[in-house]
Each structure stands twice: as C-alpha cells, then as structure tokens.
Structure 1
Amino acid sequence: MLLVGFYHTSNAQFKKYDSTLKVAKAGYRVYCNNKNPEKNTVTITPVGFEKEAREVSFEIKGRIKSAETDDINNDGFPDLVMYIFTGVEANFGKVIGIYSEKNETIGPIGFPDILDDPKLRVGYRGFDEYSLMEGNLMRRFPIFQQVDSTKYVPSGMVRQLQYRVMPGENGAQKFKVIRTFEFKKQ
C-alpha cells in the first residue's frame, strides 16, 4: 500500500506539460502528455518567429519536469531548455536544448551525459536541480558516498556544474562544463 501511495505522489509531480515560454515576442510552445515514465512525445512549436518555422515532435526517455527560455548561445535570439527526469523515483535529470537560428528555424543543443565523465560522475546518484542564470545552465546535485557494493549514503556535500553553449562539430551547438565546485549542504 505504501508503494502505491508513493507511485501516485511521483506521478502527481509530472502532470501534462503545456507551456508557452517567450523572450519578448518570440519563443516556444512546449507540449508533452508525460503519461509514461519510460517514453513520451514532445511537441515544440516556435512562436513569433520571422518565418514559419516548423513544429517538431520527437520522443524522449522520461518526463518533462519544467522548461525555460533565454538567449543561452549569445546570438540575440531565444533558446529553449527542457529538464527531463527518468528513474524509478524520477531523480535522474538530463537536458534537451533547442536553439533559434535567427528566429527562422531551430536546431538541437547537445548535452553531455554526466556518467561519461570519470571525474564528475563520482558520487552522482541523481536528484538534479537545474536553472538558467545569465546565459549559463546551472546544475547541482547531492554527492553520495558508497558504503558497500549496493548502498550509497549522502555525504553532506553538493556538486554544482556551470555549462555554457559552445560551437560543436559541423555547425552544431553543445553544452560544455566550464566550471565545477563543491560545497557543504546547509
């Protein structure tokens, strides 16, 4: 019975996501039904673009918890960041970024998997928090210590990462970690 109560609590925080996010007159409408914890379809509709930019739909693994818009690649046009969560407790976060190409079309911004970085993944067990601050993406999570082969406990420390959008290969854009630091959780 407790498991059923927890399951409903977990689902309650992931209602249908339908929001229009703008900077000045341009932005994005983001829609996701968030019904399935494993797979959902996201639809992004550009709003207020100079030309008729096409609506795009794609599948995600997980559910959208929230989204923000800001000029994160410093080109003078609004970009979109969606925070997607997966896992049994929906505690593992990732980011899907979309950039505006002069308010005429849109493209993806790559986001690195923290588990691919041997230094940053130490102590990572999810519980991510994200926010945009002055054109940077901020991510923080509690650091865990491994007690034995299957048990982890909070260390009382938090790791914070600062990402910035950088040019990638073949004209693509990607988030890159530019600064990390750790502090004692208060």
Structure 2
Amino acid sequence: MRRLLVIAVIVGLLGGVAAHSAALTTTMWLPDNRLATLAGQLRGYEQHDYRLPLRQGQLLRLSLGSNKPSTRFSLLPPGGGTALLQGAGDSRRYSVRVLQDGDFTLRIYQTVDAARLGESSRFSLQLQALGPVGHDTLPAFRRQLAWRDIRFTLQCDCRSSLNTLLLRMDGPRQRQQLQLALDGSISGAELADLNADGRPELYLYLQSAGSGSYGSVLTLLLDARQQLQQLPALPPLAADAAGQGYMGHDQFEIAGQRLLRRFPLYRPQDSNTTPTGGWRELRYRLAASGDGWQLQLESSTP
C-alpha cells in the first residue's frame, strides 16, 4: 500500500499480529468529508499501520477490500489498547464515532495461519472522516514525507479541477519552496530512489476531476545540486496495447525499483461504475533519457 509520510520499523504485538512482524507506518491527515483511497500489499507477517490524527466528534468511515480472505484490520485508540473496530477485507463499510482527540492506528495484516505459510495479499482501503459541525477544515491534501535527513511538506486545497500545490523541502544543505499548478487533485504521494543514485524522487499521484478519475503522475527529482526538477509526464496509454479497456480509476504504488499502475478494464458494454474485464498492471522504470530521466513503460500484465 501506499507510503505517504514517515516510514519506521515497529516491533511489537498489537491487534493479534506476531511479534516478529514488520510494520510500515504511514501518517495521514483526513480532511473533513474527503474520501481517501489507498492500495498496498502484504507478505507473510508484514503489516501496514496507518496513523490517523482525528478530532473528538468525527465520524470515521472505512472499507477494506482484498483479493484474499485472510486480510484483516484493527482500529486501535491512541496509546493502544482494545481495538475499536475489527474486520476482514470483504469491502464491508464500517464506521465509528471518535470520542477523543489523538492519533488512532489502523492496522492491516494477515491472519496468523496465512502469515505462517508466507502468503501474500493485495488490499485497497477507503477512508473518510466526517467533521463535527463548527470545526475548521484542513486542506484537502496535507502530507509530510522524510528521506534520511530531508523532509518534504506538501499542502493542497485540492477541492476543484485546477489546484495549486505548496511544496517545501528542508534539507541539511538546501531549503526550497515551490508552487506547482495541478490539473486535478492529489490521491497520494511517495518518495523513492528508482534510479538508484542515492537521492530521492517525489512521486505525486494525480486524479482528474469527474467520474472517470483518470490518473497521472507528477515526478520531482532531487538532482546532484540539491535542486528539485520536474520530469516528463507518463507517456499516454496506447488504445491498441496497454491502454485497451482503460477508463480511468488508476491506483499507483512503488514496489521495489518500479512504479506500478493498476486499473480496471472495461468491456464495450460496461458502464463507468461496473467494469467487468478484470485488472491490468503496468510496470514503469525510471530510465535515462537524453540529459535527464523519464518513466518508461517496462511491462504490462495481462
């Protein structure tokens, strides 16, 4: 699943997961009434923790879908303790009213039997926090991401079809502030080093306005001078190849040294809300192109 803020390794026993499991922790702000959609993958005893700063009186709604019945979730209160909600990755909709301010933890994991066998599963997560009346709302997208001693702060209102991203980078040798015009809203952000040069790239996952929710990626690369430079956009999908059956609803994530892009496939008779053609996964590598770098399509499955 998607990694959006501070990455840490946590060893412990919470929510019934084995003590030698590795936890990937992501902090998310959920602005009032905005739906957040994420995706990820689990292997064996791995678990994903989503730290959710919430306010008293908010109503948290969540839905977890997975390709394996062994996928589970637990919602833990600030400081740990008894789970407020527990469920499986069956796409059911759950909700709970938050009775205190604090950082809640949503933990995604596999059952002990599946983890012991080393099974893997994919999951998709939908989260929405309905704000209490009278409270000021946060920007629709707000993230902090860290790469070693470099920190990125991102903020975008993202409530219209055309938006502006405020980006601040704080490093030991350089500080920068940028404003970037966006065609669409931001659905996620990750840091990675896909060209293995020891410096991070910032990947912003964009979603167009409207029911199609067509996806794109804005990539910012930190060069040897510690300057951020914007890379070319993803090449368009060809109608007779990787893009056949494509009608939007993209999901993006970094896996190893590749950018993965998944989307449902539509047959000619399908409506926009009911794809029946399965899913396609595209893999992109960050390759040298002229004097710079560019994401290039490497493979398509199926």
State the TM bucket, normalised to the shorter chain: 0.7 to 0.9
Moved over 3 A (4+): 113-118
Please tell me whether residue 142 in structure 1 is matched to residue 264 in structure 2.
yes
**Greater CA drift, 63-72 or 139-148:** 139-148
Q: By how many angstroms is 1:49 displaced?
A: 4.8
User: Which residue number corresponds to residue 44 of structure 1?
Assistant: 167
Give the secondary structure class of the aligned counterpart of 2:173: coil
Give the secondary structure class of the aligned counterpart of 1:144: coil
User: Which residue number corresponds to residue 298 of structure 2?
Assistant: 178
Scaled by the length of structure 2, the TM-score of the pair is 0.51
Contact 1:83/1:96, CA 8 A, preserved across alignment: yes
In structure 2, relative to structure 1, the CA distance for the partners of 1:33 and 1:87 (3 Å cut) is closer
In structure 2, relative to structure 1, the CA distance for the partners of 1:103 and 1:24 (3 Å cut) is farther
Q: By how many angstroms is 1:90 displaced?
A: 5.8
Rounded to whole Å, the distance in 2 between the matches of 1:156 and 1:30 is 36
Rounded to whole Å, the distance in 2 between the matches of 1:29 and 1:162 is 27
User: Normalized per residue, which structure has more helix?
Assistant: 1
User: Which residue number corresponds to residue 29 of structure 1?
Assistant: 153
* Letter matched to residue 13 of structure 1: L
Alpha-carbon displacement from aligned partner over 1:58-100 (angstroms, at most 9, x marks no partner): 2111001110111122110111001110131362111101111
Determine which structure has more spread, i.e. the larger CA radius of gyration.
Answer: 2
In structure 2, relative to structure 1, the CA distance for the partners of 1:103 and 1:118 (3 Å cut) is farther
Task: Pick one of 208, 219, 230 that aligns with 1:97.
Answer: 219
* Letter matched to residue 47 of structure 1: D
* Letter matched to residue 176 of structure 1: Q
* Letter matched to residue 213 of structure 2: N
Give the secondary structure class of the aligned counterpart of 2:267: strand
Alpha-carbon displacement from aligned partner over 1:3-53 (angstroms, at most 9, x marks no partner): xxxxxxxx62266212111121114211111121x100012212215234x
* Letter matched to residue 145 of structure 2: L
Alpha-carbon displacement from aligned partner over 1:132-172 (angstroms, at most 9, x marks no partner): 11121101011111139xx5662342110011111123x22
Q: By how many angstroms is 1:56 displaced?
A: 1.5
User: Which residue number corresponds to residue 276 of structure 2?
Assistant: 155
Please tell me whether residue 78 in structure 1 is matched to residue 200 in structure 2.
yes
Contact 1:110/1:174, CA 8 A, preserved across alignment: yes
User: Which residue number corresponds to residue 6 of structure 1?
Assistant: none
Rounded to whole Å, the distance in 2 between the matches of 1:42 and 1:68 is 15
* Letter matched to residue 180 of structure 1: S
User: Which residue number corresponds to residue 13 of structure 1?
Assistant: 35
**Greater CA drift, 86-95 or 122-131:** 86-95
Q: By how many angstroms is 1:114 displaced?
A: 3.2
Give the secondary structure class of the aligned counterpart of 2:216: strand
Rounded to whole Å, the distance in 1 between the matches of 2:212 and 2:172 is 34
Task: Pick one of 184, 187, 196 that aligns with 1:65.
Answer: 187
Q: By how many angstroms is 1:103 displaced?
A: 6.2
What is the aligned residue count? 167
Counting aligned pairs with the same residue, the percent is 22
